[in-house]
Structure 1
Amino acid sequence: MKGVLLVNLGSPDSTSTKDVKKYLGEFLMDERVIDVPYFLRWILVKGIILNFRPKKSAKAYKKIWWDEGSPLIVLSERLQEKIQHKEDIPVALAMRYGNPSIKSGLQELKDKGVTDVLIVPLYPQFAMATTETILVLAEELRQKHFPEMRFTDIPAFYHKEEYIKVLANSIKDYLADKEWDKIMFSYHGVPERHIRKSDVTKSHCNPSDQNFICCKTKSEAHQFCYKHQCYETTRQVVEYLDLKPEQYFTTFQSRLGNDPWLQPYTDKTIEKFAENGVENLAVVTPAFVSDCLETLEEIAMEGGEEFVEAGGKNFYAIPCLNDNNDWVDVMVSWIDEWKNN
């Protein structure tokens, strides 16, 4: 019997400092998030970050928390419910970090008689700290607890025509009645070394190249290159919306530590745009399909405040696809394609 496991990032169980600390500990101790030797990672996370970060993050979560719970969890549940309504096979939901866990999601499918699982990482672009860590953990769990199961996964869909169309139309619809000067495509940031580590050729990717020569040069490295996939998403959406070069810009957000991360940085670019006379800025976050702390607090709230304080007028945070009905239909079509093969 076939079944589907949708997997998103995850969230603390509540906004309490204790729950946030537990969540951050699981997240930051992942070797594909902070990719340094275990001992150094333990010192950095357990000895330093978890002594101050949870309290600050808990305050941020409180700013965006809904009555129903974590926005990311609630929106993921809505997506899962809509997909399940259109599917005749079990569709379960899991989070890479926190609850519901990937193990519990697989157990739910097993209890329903599922042996053939389609794993759907809810990330358009491939990255070590997103898609890869989900698939690696799922396989570890399969070998240890679910040896009778077979796994298939949906690869990064950053360039799929149907996804681009839904994303582009969501941007167009949101801005239809708004005056805007520029659209910023803000992607989750990753350290430059992650790009190099994911380069299967070990020679093609140059993440610090601001001219994007490697990203524009055809290579098998693009299959796992987060930077290329982000810029390709932007390129295809821009082409679909027929935007001019001066109407859009691509940036990266949420850096941690002193190592070089993908640039240009979102926060610095927001301020620069305002200081240079951009009055009406729209920001879309295509690295996520569900709104979360990063989109709701870091972009919509902090980014909006930074823009206005630097002289901007109107700041528009475009919602993620969430449980958009057209997006649901795309997901269902991918599941059906797999299911019927």
Structure 2
Amino acid sequence: MRLDKPGVLLVNLGTPDAPTSAAVKRYLKQFLSDPRVVDTPRWLWWPLLNGVILPLRSPRVSKLYASVWMDEGSPLMVYSKRQREKLAARLDMPVALGMSYGNPSLKSAVDSLMAQGVTRLIVLPLYPQFSCSTVGAVWDGLTEVFRGYRSLPDVQFIRDYAEHPRYIAALKSSVERSFAKHGQPDLLVMSFHGIPQRFANEGDDYPIRCKDTFAALTQALGLPADRVMMTFQSRFGREPWLMPYTDETLGGLGAKGIKHIQVMSPGFAADCLETLEEISEENCEIFLKGGGEKFEYIPALNDDDEHIEMMLDLVNAQR
């Protein structure tokens, strides 16, 4: 009789091993080589990636990483490890952490779980809102890992958790803590990571799932429509991405009389370069230069206890 031994695989995007140009180049090459992320024909993309983007972008991005690097490492890695440790302490099953790009790899995480006799894999991608470029990439990565196995585990794949009650409650608590500390702003901005508009046109329901989170959290907070806004950040390349763009929006708020804003990024399960540098520093400066006066960034849920409780609920629902 085949035993049932579940194990949990937590997955996030990944991060360079160090805030150096060489480490960032390795990471970006793997990340930007994934057709889920950039689907430009390879014959056109490879020369551009290797001859222009990586040589020019890696030194600049490494400096940005250095500006947010923590004593224990990259913020995303530090918080992801803490999430794994806290979740593992609450479960009676193995919990492993893998990254779609960089280290620890998906393969190393799956290998670790299989070596512990896991026969049923509960996969939790730490992306609250599904996208083909993130959750889809996890699915692809696992398929590639399993090519090397003669025997496969049962797989229970958690697609996303955009409206999960505990996720919304945890976000609500984080906003209320920020309001209590800094005062209620003129506007709460929820900035989600963007994707090319073309992806949505072709069937990716990511923008719908972002709207679901936005609507649920707005309702939970009891905020009127003119006190909350949804935007999209981190666009890359020249084609249109989901709008409105965070940077352009924040730059124009001061002229509209909005002087105090707080910004959160509900699509990120852990703080990283896109939140700590792009939002908290770069977009803060854009807002202040545009006539704004007061800006606060509301941190990601990271290893907050309510966040871990939400993960626990998601895993236990698969048992």
Q: Please, what TM-score do these two structures have when normalized by structure 2?
A: 0.96
Instruction: Extract unaligned runs of 5+ from structure 2.
Output: none
Aligned pairs for 1:267-282 (under 5 A) are 267-282=247-262
Q: Which residue of 2 is the match for residue 219 of structure 1?
A: none
Structure 1 residues 110 and 146, CA gap change in structure 2 (3 angstroms): farther
Cα shift at 1:177:
2.4
Alpha-carbon distance in structure 1 between the residues aligned to 2:150 and 2:167? 32
Opposite residue 191 of structure 1, the aligned amino acid is P
Instruction: Extract unaligned runs of 5+ from structure 1.
Output: 200-223
**1:246 is the counterpart of 2:226:** yes
Opposite residue 296 of structure 1, the aligned amino acid is L
Q: Which moved more, 1:274-283 or 1:75-84?
A: 274-283
Aligned pairs for 1:130-169 (under 5 A) are 130-145=134-149, 147-169=151-173
Alpha-carbon distance in structure 2 between the residues aligned to 1:37 and 1:152? 32
Cα shift at 1:162:
2.1
Q: Residue 166 of structure 2 contacts residue 306 of structure 2 at CA under 8 Å; is this kept in 1?
A: no
Alpha-carbon distance in structure 2 between the residues aligned to 1:43 and 1:31? 15
Alpha-carbon distance in structure 1 between the residues aligned to 2:92 and 2:116? 12
Q: Which residue of 1 is the match for residue 39 of structure 2?
A: 35
Q: 2:314 aligns with which of 306, 327, 334?
A: 334
Alpha-carbon distance in structure 1 between the residues aligned to 2:101 and 2:138? 9
Cα shift at 1:164:
1.3
State the Cα deviation string for residues 253-280 of structure 1 (Å, max 9, x = none): 1111110111110001111112222111
Q: Which residue of 1 is the match for residue 99 of structure 2?
A: 95
Opposite residue 307 of structure 2, the aligned amino acid is W
**1:194 is the counterpart of 2:194:** no
State the Cα deviation string for residues 7-32 of structure 1 (Å, max 9, x = none): 00100000110000000000001001
Q: Residue 187 of structure 2 contacts residue 228 of structure 2 at CA under 8 Å; is this kept in 1?
A: yes
Q: Secondary structure at the match of 1:317?
A: strand
Cα shift at 1:90:
0.1
Structure 1 residues 35 and 139, CA gap change in structure 2 (3 angstroms): same
Cα shift at 1:146:
6.0
Aligned pairs for 1:256-267 (under 5 A) are 256-267=236-247
Q: Secondary structure at the match of 1:78?
A: helix
Q: Which moved more, 1:137-146 or 1:273-282?
A: 137-146
State the Cα deviation string for residues 57-105 of structure 1 (Å, max 9, x = none): 0010010000100000000000100000010100000111100000000
State the Cα deviation string for residues 178-225 of structure 1 (Å, max 9, x = none): 22110001000100111123x2xxxxxxxxxxxxxxxxxxxxxxxx50
Q: Residue 259 of structure 2 contacts residue 293 of structure 2 at CA under 8 Å; is this kept in 1?
A: yes
Over the matched positions of the two proteins, sequence identity in percent amounts to 39
Q: Which residue of 1 is the match for residue 49 of structure 2?
A: 45
**1:14 is the counterpart of 2:18:** yes
Count, aligned residues: 314
Cα shift at 1:174:
2.0
